[in-house]
Structure 1
Amino acid sequence: MSSEHTVKPEEEPAEADADTEDAPVSTGAESVVRSLENAGVEYLFGVQGGAIMPVYDALFDSEMTHITMAHEQGAAHAADAYGIVSGDPGICMATSGPGATNLVTGLADSNMDSDPVVALTGQVPTDFVGSDAFQETDTTGVTMPVTKTNYFADDPDTVGDVVGEAFAMAKRGRQGPTLVDLPKDVTQADTDAEPGRATTPDTYRPPETADDRDVREAAEVLADADKPVILAGGGVIKAEACHELRRFAIEYDVPVVTTMPGIGAFPEDHDLALEMAGMHGTGYANMAITMTDCMLAVGTRFDDRLTGGVESFAPDAEIVHVEIDPAEISKNVAADYPLVGDAKAVLEQLHDAMPATPDADEWREQVQEWKTEYPLDYPMDEDGPVKPQYVVETVDAATADDTVVTTGVGQHQMWACQYWRYTEPRTWVSSHGLGAMGYGLPSAIGARLAADDDQSVVCFDGDGSFLMTCQELTVAVREQLDVTVFILNNEFIGMVRQWQDGFYEGRRMASDYNWMPQFDKLAESFGAAGFRIDEYDEVEETVEAALDVEGPSVVDVHIDPEEDVYPMVPSGGDNGLFALRGDHL
């Protein structure tokens, strides 16, 4: 799909020309729809229902495209992925009660990962609120902890502007999900109030540039460092700051580590790239963040899967933390030089303030030695069961560099991080902070609709993760979406099984999934193309065949059930003491 409609985060959607406006709005529901149109929305993901029905009725004559999902959780994940790939907020819709509560997992995921999403939920009429009416839920109360902000719309004359504000809030500053609860009497009521363009309140002023003196001090520290490293988080991508990051790193010759949400912020085929750090990060990335004496951390919240034990994280480093949300400064890791502002703007400030390139040739040589010493590799017996890493590498080799990869959550997610080489932003789509199993397939649907027509979209999923949301395959078939799903099937909840083997004396309680269906046959029953891989000599040919399908396809890849994810830093451990195999734990 074309991405020409994408609005850059710092821009406001243009107001519609008065001479080309549609007919005046006549109801609150029409005002909601007009507000979305004013914001440039192209796709919406949702499930119909009684309380949201007036809004759906108003959509009947709209040029926006509604994608009916099989489950509201799928709608939220699809909207989340649409926002990640396009840069614009994804829109999800649901009715009151169970429809709204089914969105909560997706909203919590968006909130943890700072992804721009707008949720529109139906609600019982205002006179019934608080009476335990049919399908009534305190939606704003339930979702307040997992949204950036939410609204209860109580006036048909202002409901369109409220929706516009929710859209603007989702993408400005630290991005995140917003929600508007829409009582049925409000959306059915008469109004002639035309909503304006999507804007944030005058009182909402997220920081843009950091204090110049603070920037100069941080630049001097970086220039004087003997072992500098850049830690690039997801905020770099959200701020459209990848160009500025690459320019800074390359010009000043500073190695770059990414967080998992930051994958794609810096090309992994560059000599300065150390790839992902943290629990399952590369050995060389974890060595670099452990031994550095000065870390430039950009757009990261220093979550526990990155840091391990905070007391052992970058123990000798001065921390320069660039972050748009001041609440994240020194929340988990103390910042010696806090630079509060937009990542794009602050990286430009730092670039201009740098007095010199760090004199760190020995450090750069050491980093390259770590790459040689701790490569990502795996043993492979061609007569044995298929290794999942080989499957990931094979699909990577068969697809273009700008292919979008989505995943569920578990071991397959980590292998997709480690063994796929990412060179572009907005090509890695996953559930990071919440770790929501079932994210992979619905997110592939959202990603497909956000991506360019000539981009491929592939999903790596696990058998347990796929089973949670496999009903969304009906959507991909109905819409004839060209997505290819590779189920790395080990008949376990693999990450749980790995932890049980490593930390619970091998007591595999409730992690054995040997009751899985034949996923290739299941896919065919949905109307998708189904494939199965059992042996190495089937991998390349089957991968090519699945990718050649014009429409959805599912490949059930039966992998080595005992394969584990390494390197691994045990929870709360020291990143510099990562395990390379089970007996290192």
Structure 2
Amino acid sequence: MSERASVPKEERTDEEQAETETVDGVATGAESVVAGLQNAGVEHLFGVQGGAIMPVYDALYEHEEMDHITMAHEQGAAHAADAYGIVRGKPGVCLATSGPGATNLITGLADANMDSDPVIALTGQVPTDFVGNDAFQETDTIGVTQPVTKYNKFAESSDTVGDSIGEAWALANEGRQGPTLVDLPKDVTQSETDVAPGLPETPDTYNPPTEADQVIVQEAADALANAERPAILAGGGVIKGEACEELRAFAREYEIPVVTTMPGTGSFPEDDELSLGIAGMHGTGYGNLTISNSDVLLGIGTRFDDRLTGGIDTFAPDADIIHVDIDPAEISKNVEADYPLIGDAAVVIEQLDEALTQSPPAGEWREQCQTWKEEYPLDYEMPEDEPLKPQYVVEKYDEVTDDDCIVAAGVGQHQMWAWQYWTWKKPRTWVTSHGLGTMGYAVPAAIGAKVAAPDQEVVAFDGDGSFLMTAQGLSVAVREGLNITIVVLNNEAVGMVRQWQDGFYEGRRMASEYPWIPEFDKLAEAFGAQGLRLEDPDEVEETIQQAREYEGPTVIDAIIDPTENVYPMVPSGGDNARFALNEEHLDQL
């Protein structure tokens, strides 16, 4: 440190204090880490304390402008940061100590990596001289996380660590978003420095594409202009790329039907006449028929993953594929692109708009799509003498909430029911685990979403199996006074596994049913939350209202029909045009 900086603050003149303010702010590597977060405009952090990360927490002590939410488990910290990033559109931050703290983040980082969600993880590490010696709580965090992060870095110097934080933030945020990690050895965060970090910047070598090749754009536009059965498939990249307004304007201008993927849900309003709902294994029948019968398919920001496509050979078999994506690695990775358009989603949509000279001659096609919509509606039966149906609970909750209500979900049957029976009208309101399919996501995600958007209503739909994995997060919601509701659609089973066992394993229900589970309403009360039990269909609206009026977290233990399954359904690797609407249909596929 400089000689002046070592003078006690109270003994310095005003001029000296002004000159050394920046130096004081980064007297150690840990304080440089915090300064890097400040430069990035970070407002909230989710983490769990521990020995190796303690210097960073100590540096945060004086920074009340950054709100730290202490989570009950590091996996929850990663999921909360992930959900925060989804809702805000900018990176969420999670912290953990070395060893088990860092490894507990892995599931959340892998989840964010699959879904291209912006997250920054800061992990403590043993002192540099101890690395490789199997020190207490040591693990090779860089090696372990490299496959599931967009970028990770081992901090080597207190002089550069703050800029590493800025670089990690910028890389998580720019181009194709994703998780990044900086590993922070304790000697680096404790060492002195007088170097203040700059603003977040990506490396000079990082130049994600913006505009697509104009020649290919024109060829794609010509194909669309002449299409008799055009369709748009809107993926998560539409939302990540802030291209929802461009998508809506484009689809309406040229009257092209729109189907959304699960990550793309909310990018196009489902109450629009052009909306054909959702696609894939549990997508709408009419959405899947639209894709399967199209002659030109414009896919924007989608990975064309297996849950969407089913069998590649039968996916949109007659369509020319226009694929828009910011990541060249996604082009033709799964589905061969006839017109590869590499660039920013919003910019490429505008390029296509400028290149199009006419609307496609697709009047009869739009009528056909509407006919499919009428023939294959999402539907279920709820006889008076049968148990509560999960679809009814979702529908009733949707009816009483505003369009900007944020819905989080775990993974399983409950996730599909929430996705199918909620009417999605706005982006960044559907928060769930898509690619990795992580059970236990809902509770910490609801926390992260509420912190990100305190003025928006947040409800999480969870399953009993999924809820049991991260229920300890209730302690965080109670402590922080978060007004969220968690609806556990309780069928006393790992329902999706049980459904597959019934459908494809001759009903051998191995390890998918629970002979005993807790009473989740009582468990919620033990945590200090409001607990409600729901069994009678006549009490659904009253129970929902009671949850919404309560100032704080509520758990609704909704005891649903254990025989209810998720339909429509396309068997794994199957033809999306041959979907089952019930168990009898499934047996015939």
- The residue number in structure 1 matching 2:305 is 303
Deviation at 1:263, TM superposition (A): 0.1
Return the TM-score normalized by structure 2. 0.95
- The Cα offsets for residues 74-114 of structure 1, whole Å up to 9 and x where unpaired, read as 00000000000001100000000000000000000000000
Asked if structure 1 preserves the Cα contact closer than 8 Å seen for 2:322 and 2:338, the reply is: yes
| CA distance in structure 1 between the aligned counterparts of 2:561 and 2:111, rounded to whole angstroms | 30
For 1:120, the aligned partner's letter is: L
| 1:113 corresponds to which of 101, 112, 115 | 115
Where 2:443 maps in the other structure, the secondary structure is: helix
Correspondence for 2:247 = 245
Match of 1:60 in 2: 61
Which amino acid is 2:572 matched to? S
| Counterpart contact for 2:23–2:195, Cα < 8 Å | no
In structure 2, distance between residues paired with 1:414 and 1:149: 32
Aligned partners of 2:193 and 2:583: how far apart in 1?
A: 66
Please state how far the C-alpha of 1:348 moved relative to its aligned partner: 0.8
Deviations 1:463-501 (A, max 9, x none): 000000000000000000010000000001000000000
Whether 1:41 aligns to 2:42 is yes
- Tell me: CA distance 1:266–1:26, structure 2 relative to 1, closer, same or farther (3 Å): same
Q: Partners in 1 of 2:19 and 2:201 — Cα distance?
A: 19
Q: Tell me if the contact between 2:23 and 2:194 (Cα under 8 Å) persists in the aligned partners.
A: no
Match of 1:80 among 79, 82, 107: 82
319-328 vs 532-541, greater mean Cα deviation: 532-541
Q: Is the 8 A contact 2:113 2:148 kept in 1?
A: yes
For residues 452 and 28 of structure 1, what CA distance do their matches in structure 2 show? 32
Aligned to 2:316: 314
Output one character per residue of 1:290-318: Cα deviation in whole Å (capped at 9) or x when no partner.
00000000000100000000000000000
| Cα distance, 1:423–1:358 mapped onto 2, change above 3 Å | same
Q: Which amino acid is 1:469 matched to?
A: T
Deviation per residue, 1:152-207 (Å, 9 max, x gap): 00111000000100000001011000000000000000001000000100110000
Shift in CA distance, 151/354, structure 1 to aligned 2, threshold 3 Å: same
SS of the equivalent of 2:551 reads: coil
- Structure 2 residue identity aligned to 1:99: G
Q: 2:191: which partner in 1?
A: 189
Match of 1:264 among 249, 256, 266: 266
SS in 2 for 1:577: coil
Shift of 1:18: 10
Write out aligned runs for 1:143-158 (5 A): 143-158=145-160
Between the aligned partners of 2:272 and 2:23, the Cα distance in structure 1 is 50
1:322-471 correspondence to structure 2 within 5 Å: 322-453=324-455, 455-471=456-472
What SS does the corresponding residue of 2:383 show, helix, strand or coil? coil
Q: Distance in 1 between matches of 2:371 and 2:19?
A: 63
**AA at the equivalent of 1:175:** Q
- Judged with a 3 Å threshold, the aligned counterparts in structure 2 of structure 1 residues 109 and 355 are, in CA distance, closer, same or farther, namely same
Distance 1:258 1:349 in 2: 21
One-letter code aligned to 2:122: L
TM-score in terms of structure 1 length: 0.96
* 2:490 matched residue in structure 1: 489
* RMSD (CA atoms): 1.1
Counterpart-to-counterpart distance in 2, 1:91 and 1:269? 35
1:116-135 matched pairs, under 5 angstroms? 116-135=118-137
Whole-angstrom distance in 2 between the partners of 1:382 and 1:421: 25
Correspondent of 2:202 among 200, 222, 225: 200
- 1:544-572 alpha-carbon deviations (Å, 9 max, x no partner): 10111111000000000010000000000
Distance in 1 separating the partners of 2:440 and 2:454: 24
Q: Could you tell me how far 1:70 is from its partner in structure 2?
A: 0.2
Counterpart of 1:484 in 2: which secondary structure?
strand
Q: Whole-Å Cα distance in 2 between the matches of residues 72 and 209 of structure 1?
A: 39
1-side partners of 2:35 and 2:303: how far apart? 36
State the partner residue of 1:507: 508
Q: SS of 1:229's equivalent?
A: strand
Q: Distance in 2 between matches of 1:333 and 1:522?
A: 47
Distance in structure 2 (CA, Å) of the matches to 1:170 and 1:378: 42
Are 2:572 and 1:534 aligned? Answer: no
> 1:20 offset after TM fit, Å?
9.1
Equivalent AA in structure 2 for residue 292 of structure 1: S
The answer to whether the 8 Å contact 2:529/2:552 transfers is yes
1:142 to 133, 141, 144: 144
How much does 1:452 deviate? 4.5
**Matches of residues 165-244 of structure 1 in structure 2 within 5 Å?**
165-244=167-246
**Equivalents in 1 of 2:509, 2:548: separation in Å?**
35
Offset of 1:427 from its aligned partner? 0.2
Residue 22 of structure 1 deviates from its aligned partner by 8.7
Letter in 1 for 2:524: A
Measure, in 1, the Cα distance between the counterparts of 2:521 and 2:39: 43
Counterpart of 1:160 in structure 2: which amino acid?
G
Mark the structure with the bigger radius of gyration: 2
Letter in 1 for 2:66: M
C-alpha deviation, 1:24, in angstroms: 3.2
Q: Bigger CA drift: 533-542 or 136-145?
A: 533-542
Deviation at 1:382, TM superposition (A): 1.9
Specify the code of the residue in structure 2 equivalent to 1:130: G
Q: Secondary structure of the residue that 2:107 maps to in structure 1?
A: helix
Distance 2:478 2:342 in 1: 45
1:30 — aligned with what?
31
The residue aligned with 1:561 is: 562
Does the 8 Å CA contact 2:266/2:428 hold for their aligned counterparts? yes
- Match of 2:360, SS state, is coil
| Structure 1 residue ranges without an equivalent (≥5) | 1-16
Alignment-mate amino acid for residue 573 of structure 1: G
Gaps of 5+ in 2: 1-17
Alpha-carbon distance in structure 2 between the residues aligned to 1:368 and 1:127 = 67
Structure 2 CA distance, aligned partners of 1:463 and 1:452? 26
| Identity score, percent | 70
Which one-letter code corresponds to 2:47 in the other structure?
G
**Aligned positions, number:** 568
In the TM superposition, what is the alpha-carbon distance from 1:19 to its structure 2 partner?
11
